[in-house]
Structure 1
Amino acid sequence: MHFEVPKLRKHSLKEFSQHYLMIVLSILTALGLEQWIERAHHRHAAEYASTQVEAELRSNLNDIHTSKQVNAQNLGPLTELNDAIIADVRKGVPDKLINQHIQSLQGKFVLSVNWPTFATQAWDVAVANQSAAWIDTATLRRFSAAYAAQREAATWVTHDSMLALDAPRMVLLRTRIQLGVDIDPIEFLGVVRQMINTTTQTQLHLEQTEKQVVAALPVNDR
C-alpha cells in the first residue's frame, strides 16, 4: 500500500509558526507576570512587616529609656542611705546613734525596680504569616537578635533578678525600723547593698538589651 505525506504550503507553515510563537510568548508572559506579582507581594509583605516590627522596637526602646530613668532616680536614695550609714560605722558612731540615723532616713530604705513589658506582637505576626522570611537577611538577623535579647532579659527578671536579695530579711528589717526597734547596722548595710546590687544589675541588663534594640533599627532612628 502506498501513502503520500500531504504537503503543507509555505504560507500555512508560516502561519503555524506564528501561532505557535504567540502561544509560547503568552505562556512565558503569564508566568513572568505571575512571578512579578508574587515578588511584589513578598516585597510589600516584607516592607509592611519591617515597618510594624520597627515601630514595636521603637516603643520598646522608649520603655527601656523610661525604666532606666526611673531606676536611676530610685537608686539615688538607696546610695545616699548606704553612704551615710557606712560613714557612721567608719567613724565609730555607737549603734544607738546609728539606729537613730537609720530611723531618720528610713524613707530611703525602699527597693523599687522598674522593668518594661516588651511587646512582641508585630514580630510574632511576621513569623506566623511567614513575611519575616521575605525580609532581607541582614535586617532579619538584627530583628531576631533584638527580640532574643528581650527574651533573655525578661527571663533574667523572672527567674534570677532576686536571687542575690534576701527579701524576707529586708522585710524584717523594714518592720523593725518602722516599729522603732534597734537593728544591727552591719546587717542593715548588707541588705542595703543587696538592694543596690539588684537595681544595678537590672540597669545593666536594660543597657545590654537597649544596645541590641538600637542596632536593629535604621541608622536614622539610632
Structure 2
Amino acid sequence: MPAAPRVYMLAMDDFNMHFEVPKVKMHSLREFLQHYLMIVLSILTALGLEQWIENAHHRHAAEYASTQIDSELDTMLRDIQAAIQTDENKLAPLVAMDKAINDDVQKGLPDAEINKHIRQLSGGFRLSINWPAFNTQAWDVAVANQSATWIDVERLHRYTAAYAAVRDAASWTTHNATVALDAPRMVDLQTRISLGKDVDPVEFLSVSQQMINSSKETIAYLMDASTPLKKALAKAEH
C-alpha cells in the first residue's frame, strides 16, 4: 500500500509562527531531502507571510498617523491665519492714532491741544495680541507609538519642520511676545486718558510704539511659523 501523505502544520499567532513536523521514519536519502525541502519551504512561507503582515500593519499605522497630523496642522494653520487677521485689524486704529499724535508733536502743537486729540482717538489706544493654541497631540502620539518612523522620509521631514516651527512659535509667544512692552506704564496711561487727565505726548508715543512693535512682531512671527505648515499640507494634498 502507498504511504499516507504527510501533513505539515503551520500556524501564525500575532506575528509569532510555529510549525509541526510529522514524526516519520526516513527510508531513503530522497525521502529525507523531500522532507527537508518541505520544512524549508514551510519556514520561508511563514517568514514571508509574517513580513507581509508586519509591513501592512506599518503602512496602515503610517497612513492613519499622517491623516491625523494633516488634520492637526490644517487646524493650526487656520487658527494662525485667523489670529493674524484679528491682530492686523485691531492694530490699525493704534497705528492711525500713533501717526496722528506723532504729527501733532512734529508740528509743535501745545500739549493741551495734543491731549484733546489723544482723548478723541482714545478708542484706538488698545493692545490686542492674539495667537492660537499650538496643539501637537497627533504628532506626540505618532512619535510615542513609533508610527512616525514608518511615514515616508520626505513627508516626515516636512512634518518635523512644521512641528519645530510650532514649538518655536509657542515658546516665543509665551515668553517673548511682550518682552519689550512696559505693561504697567501702558495701563497707567490708559487709565489717565480714560479719566480725562492729560499725559505727556512723548511718553504716550513711546508706549504706543512699544505696543505697535509688540503686535507687529507677533504677526510677523506667526506668518513665519505658518510657512512650514503650508508646505507640509501642500504636499499632503497631492
**Common fold, TM-score beyond 0.5?**
yes
Matched, 1:211 2:223: no
Q: For the Cα contact (< 8 Å) 2:70–2:236, is it kept in 1?
A: no
Higher mean Cα deviation, 183-192 or 133-142?
133-142
Q: For the Cα contact (< 8 Å) 2:98–2:209, is it kept in 1?
A: yes
Higher strand fraction: Structure 1 or Structure 2? 2
Aligned residues: 213
Match of 2:168 in 1: 152
Match of 1:126 in 2: 142
Q: CA deviation at 1:176?
A: 0.6
Match of 2:158 in 1: 142
CA offsets 1:59-112 (integer angstroms, 9 cap, x no match): 000001100100110110011101111111112211101100000111100001
Query: Which whole-Å CA distance do the structure 1 matches of 2:78 and 2:237 have between them?
Result: 12
Q: CA deviation at 1:221?
A: 4.4
Query: Which whole-Å CA distance do the structure 2 matches of 1:35 and 1:221 have between them?
Result: 30
Q: CA deviation at 1:156?
A: 0.9
Matched, 1:39 2:55: yes
Of residues 65, 75, 84 in structure 1, which corresponds to 2:81? 65
Q: CA deviation at 1:19?
A: 2.2
TM-score (norm 1): 0.92
Of residues 160, 176, 184 in structure 1, which corresponds to 2:200? 184
Match of 2:190 in 1: 174
TM-score (norm 2): 0.86
- Aligned residue for 1:103, secondary structure, equals helix
Higher helix fraction: Structure 1 or Structure 2? 1
RMSD of Structure 2 on Structure 1 (CA): 1.5
Query: Which whole-Å CA distance do the structure 2 matches of 1:72 and 1:221 have between them?
Result: 29
- Aligned residue for 2:133, secondary structure, equals coil
Query: Which whole-Å CA distance do the structure 2 matches of 1:120 and 1:180 have between them?
Result: 47
Matched, 1:29 2:29: no
- Aligned residue for 1:217, secondary structure, equals helix
CA offsets 1:144-166 (integer angstroms, 9 cap, x no match): 11111111111111111111100
Q: Which amino acid aligns with 1:171?
A: V
Identify the structure with bigger relative contact order (alpha carbons < 8 Å, sequence gap 6+): 1
Of residues 110, 117, 133 in structure 2, which corresponds to 1:101? 117
